[in-house]
Amino acid sequence: MAFPPFAVTVDLVVLTVRGDDLCALLVRRGEEPFLGRDALPGGFVRPDEDLAAAATRELAEETGLDVGHLEQLASYGAPDRDPRQRVVTVAHLALVPDQPAPTAGTDAADARWVPVAQARELAFDHDRVLADGVERARAKLEYTALATAFCGPEFTVAQLRRVYEVVWGRALDPRNFHRKVTGTPGLLDPTGETTTRDGGRPAQLYRRGPAEQLHPPLLRADT
Amino acid sequence: MAFPPFAVTVDLVVLTVRGDDLCALLVRRGEEPFLGRDALPGGFVRPDEDLAAAATRELAEETGLDVGHLEQLASYGAPDRDPRQRVVTVAHLALVPDQPAPTAGTDAADARWVPVAQARELAFDHDRVLADGVERARAKLEYTALATAFCGPEFTVAQLRRVYEVVWGRALDPRNFHRKVTGTPGLLDPTGETTTRDGGRPAQLYRRGPAEQLHPPLLRADT
DNA sequence: CCAAAAGTGTTGATGATACACCCATGT
DNA sequence: ACATGGGTGTATCATCAACACTTTTGG
């Protein structure tokens, strides 16, 4: 059977919360096309490899990161998106805890975190892919327990709230947020430990619980 | 540059509401592999064609249907999903109004509607793809105006409610549903016309309005 | 008149927001 | 003592489920 040959790649929108910014992992391209421009990390899918496996492998290669969460985002296959040949890319979204710096991996020694608000003029159609990934992350925080993927294995309610505030760019009431998340059964698993902090009352430490969905959802509407 | 060659296809989960069932469009395979089994309609992406364009073209070829809504669903690319060669398929979800029957198209003269509850043992990994499409449709009815895509250009509130009841498999209160949808600004656009009906008070006819999102959402939870 | 389906009003429960207030720690 | 941030109580407001009720047609 004759069929048109395509190259298939995976690209990764890797997001984290650093300080006051939602950041994406970008690599500087070392070859044409788009030489010198920033791009999302990614690479070819191997002949015997599933799409999810390819995404996991690329993420491990580009960064030594703990992966909080990895899911398929969408596929992009405009005929002219790569000037060399016909390429369809299956983009994936990864949410990871804040790491000191992405450890230099094999593919991309110069991978670095860039606030998504400043990530512009990326190679290929990666502006669009990044925007879709950010929008997906914002939407999913509303009704899933995904925000915990941005935190380390143990975290306080205030750290979790910080994630929501940074991703949504909106202040939340600490009191109501606390009641909401501690009142959702299965969301948070108290460790019994507390943190020593710089100048306030110590906070309870939690691990993420078994709940995946948030019911009822947290809303980001202005109202 | 060397890269592993892949075939890329689009597959379509085409859903409609017929009577008391949510139905999917299936075609009987006329060749190996999976000869004689049911499958989702689909085909190869052409060399100069976008993914969305390929989905639109296939949908037009397989059916002469009015397309209420078409969106990308997900991609599937397990190495062994097609025994002949490495194929990655980009599945799309289409919601269409109830049509008397899919008109025999070029590719699939025997395309037909099958209730999703009875669609089993499909070719390739299409059981999984269909299940993902149905779940996506169910979820999106909650917070978008997508249900109108299942209706014709003009419809009554009761017809729209019927869509929700069939897709969710759950009875809704007619009074509360009516208030909810007519009270959401931009969702429904009254035509001023009414229907003549079999034995009750005539209903107002509506067209779908400009609103895409439902705020607040309609919930399908049991509570 | 009666049946059937459209559409309205009202009520009690539930959840969200806003904010006053108390608790535990470092300096 | 007091600043800082963690955590609780409570009033007000919006929304929802439930259901009695009225309206408009066909037989």
Q: Report yes or no: B6 at the A interface, CB cutoff 8 Å.
A: yes
Task: Indicate the residue of A47, A75, A79 with minimum beta-carbon distance to B4.
Answer: A47
The C-alpha atoms of residue B31 and residue B28 are separated, in whole angstroms, by: 9
CATH topology of domain A142-208: Arc Repressor Mutant, subunit A (1.10.10)
Tokens 């959401």, located at residue: B184
Helices (H), A72-218: 126-143, 157-168, 174-183
For every residue of B49-103, DSSP letters joined together read: --HHHHHHHHHHHH--PPPSEEEEEEEE--TTSSSSS-EEEEEEEEE----SSPP
Task: Please state the pTM of the whole predicted model.
Answer: 0.92
Residues in chain B within 8 Å Cβ distance of A215: 221
Q: Is the pLDDT of residue B118 over 80?
A: yes
Tokens 């608000």, located at residue: A117
> Which residue, counting CA atoms, is nearest to the C1' of nucleotide C7?
B175
Residues in chain B within 8 Å Cβ distance of A85: 1, 3
CATH code given to domain A7-118: 3.90.79.10
Cβ of A6 within 8 Å of Cβ of B5? The answer is yes
Q: What is the CB neighbour count within 10 angstroms for residue A180?
A: 17
Q: Report yes or no: A81 at the B interface, CB cutoff 8 Å.
A: no
The 10s digit of each residue's pLDDT in B1-37 is 567 899 999 999 999 999 899 999 999 998 889 999 9
The 10s digit of each residue's pLDDT in A65-124 is 778 899 999 999 999 999 999 999 999 999 999 886 666 555 555 788 999 999 999 999
- What is the residue extent of each domain of chain A? 7-118, 142-208
* Strand positions, DSSP E, chain B: 7-18, 21-28, 38-39, 42-44, 69-76, 87-95, 112-115, 188-194, 204-208
CB under 7 Å from strand D: A 156-158, 174-176, 178-179, 182, 194, 197-204; B 173, 175-176, 180, 194, 196-202, 216-217, 219, 223
The 10s digit of each residue's pLDDT in A2-57 is 678 999 999 999 999 998 999 999 999 988 899 999 999 999 999 999 999 999 99
Q: Report yes or no: B74 at the A interface, CB cutoff 8 Å.
A: yes
Nearest to A16, CA basis, from A120, A166, A121, A145 = A166
- End-to-end Cα distance, chain A: 57
CB within 8 Å of A83: residues ≥ 6 apart: A33
Is there contact between B167 and strand C, defined as CB under 7 Å from any strand atom?
Answer: no
Cβ of A79 within 8 Å of Cβ of B48? The answer is yes
Range of lowest pLDDT (A192-206, B143-157, B176-190):
A192-206
Say what the pLDDT of residue A198 is: 66
> Which of A8, A45, A73, A90 to mutate against chain B (most B CBs within 10 Å)?
A8
Tokens 């249907």, located at residue: B65
CA–C1' B142–C23 (A): 42
Nucleotide with smallest C1' distance to residue B196 CA? D25
CA–C1' B202–D24 (A): 7
The C-alpha atoms of residue B122 and residue B130 are separated, in whole angstroms, by: 9
Say what the pLDDT of residue B200 is: 77
Percent of chain B with pLDDT over 90: 73
Residues 42-71 of A with CB under 8 A from B: 44-51
The 10s digit of each residue's pLDDT in B160-205 is 999 999 999 999 999 999 999 999 999 999 998 888 766 778 999 9
Q: Which residue of B has its CA nearest to A79?
A: B48
Say what the pLDDT of residue B223 is: 40
Examine domains B7-118 and B142-208 and report if their fold is the same. no
The 10s digit of each residue's pLDDT in B38-62 is 999 999 999 999 999 999 999 988 8
Q: Report yes or no: B2 at the A interface, CB cutoff 8 Å.
A: no
Cβ of A4 within 8 Å of Cβ of B45? The answer is yes
